[in-house]
Structure 1
């Protein structure tokens, strides 16, 4: 890399950066996943136990204490748990990456000051590590659905296509937040609050249709709402995705990713001065 060259900020430059540094991204993502559990007795088993534990807690509170039900008909607690879990997977993936984004550059000062390093891959590494944990949770969900409900829908094969637009959107937001976190240290606390609120302002614990008609359009403005519904459609209900909706979401996601990448590249020269 030429340290004096202007960092690429175009859409083509964004895709080229991801491709050129794909091997470095893979190695750093593997290190990130393994390093999270290094020194613990159970190691990667925690990636299975954590979502199961949270699922059990949320299911008890909402289906036993509050007597929540997803539909009007008869519904077992196991069915409710599977529907709930699908929404939790999407939110957890989003929150894990977004919450850590403002600290990415701050936590890797050595990459900023001491060596020539493609800083723009740091959000990508975090995203890949989060996707690994998300896929573990999806595997747990599918095993639970097969064990308790007797089948796994073939539409589960569409899951990668459903989740991909969200991943692109998350990456763009992560680039923007990683840069903003350098110049405004309060961003991290603010984002943590926003993602916590989004857990209850997304259709994780309830369907959108349960809201009054006047509030449903506002709920659908939440970027997680459409993806949560589509994930449930392909993994739980056995329905095909809403293809036109996914295409529109993907176009918007690519635009957000490009803007986030361009902002990161335009502001990165100021990182060393601030840090």
Structure 2
């Protein structure tokens, strides 16, 4: 019986060893999404631009929502909202697809010697491509209305990298569970919808009563959304303690998810 290593070293080495396959697969997935459409990949630019306009009108004009008591700027609210949505959308796209990753690639399990552990990385990098397009739209809009962005924007990768590890860890675990328990997809669909409203995307954490604010931080998206807003819009440095803790926790989650995937993958062929 073949042995698949579940060591932290293998978690890092495997994507690097299969980097050419990952890059080719990501390109195929991105281009395949827009194959046959008239505008093609330009949709990846117009979609976030359109959504940013919609959120601005719906929340700041229709619902008259404001971010903080002293602010009356519709554009400010839209940019603060969109910064949080960029992170949530990346998380949601990857996590919702994770339970079906193995089920939708049965041939890779049964007929082809394929490094199944890279499938979550392909999904993540594809989602990251669209997140980068959204980020470009965000920067363009900020520069148009507020001028040169804060230098703290350069710290964004320090926040995104551990977030990617969190997504990878959860994706590995869910991809494996999805093979053995087909209800996982429905459960995750509901869970991500709940997380969207339980994350400080449409409202600041300070808007909740103090006795409930600590519950919001049990959500793994809360810290990354707040740190993203701090470096992008407010020009604040992320809290070093929170950032270090986030790196540590997400690294452990990534390894646990990878170890679970590697330990359970030997039964995939039997179940499928």
Same-fold call, TM cutoff 0.5:
yes
In structure 2, the residue matched to 1:150 is 147
In structure 1, the residue matched to 2:123 is 126
User: Does residue 160 of the first structure (1) align with residue 157 of the second (2)?
Assistant: yes
1:15-164 equivalence runs, <5 A: 15-164=12-161
User: Does residue 205 of the first structure (1) align with residue 202 of the second (2)?
Assistant: yes
User: Which runs of 5 or more structure 1 residues have no equivalent in the other structure?
Assistant: none
| CA–CA distance in structure 1, aligned partners of residues 2 and 182 of structure 2 | 28
| CA–CA distance in structure 2, aligned partners of residues 274 and 5 of structure 1 | 17
User: How far is the alpha carbon of 1:75 from its aligned partner?
Assistant: 2.4
| CA–CA distance in structure 2, aligned partners of residues 16 and 135 of structure 1 | 25
In structure 2, the residue matched to 1:218 is 215
User: How far is the alpha carbon of 1:85 from its aligned partner?
Assistant: 0.5
| Cα root mean square deviation, aligned | 1.0
User: Does residue 185 of the first structure (1) align with residue 173 of the second (2)?
Assistant: no
Aligned to 2:266, which of 260, 266, 269?
A: 269
In structure 1, the residue matched to 2:191 is 194
Q: Give the TM-score, by structure 2 length.
A: 0.97
User: How far is the alpha carbon of 1:60 from its aligned partner?
Assistant: 2.2
Q: Give the TM-score, by structure 1 length.
A: 0.96
1:230-269 equivalence runs, <5 A: 230-269=227-266
| CA–CA distance in structure 2, aligned partners of residues 186 and 62 of structure 1 | 34
Task: Work out the number of aligned pairs and report it.
Answer: 272
- Report Cα offsets for 1:230-271 as digits up to 9, x if no partner: 111111111112222111111111111111111111111111
User: How far is the alpha carbon of 1:162 from its aligned partner?
Assistant: 1.1
- Report Cα offsets for 1:123-159 as digits up to 9, x if no partner: 0100011111111111110110000112211111111
| CA–CA distance in structure 2, aligned partners of residues 205 and 59 of structure 1 | 12
User: Which runs of 5 or more structure 2 residues have no equivalent in the other structure?
Assistant: none
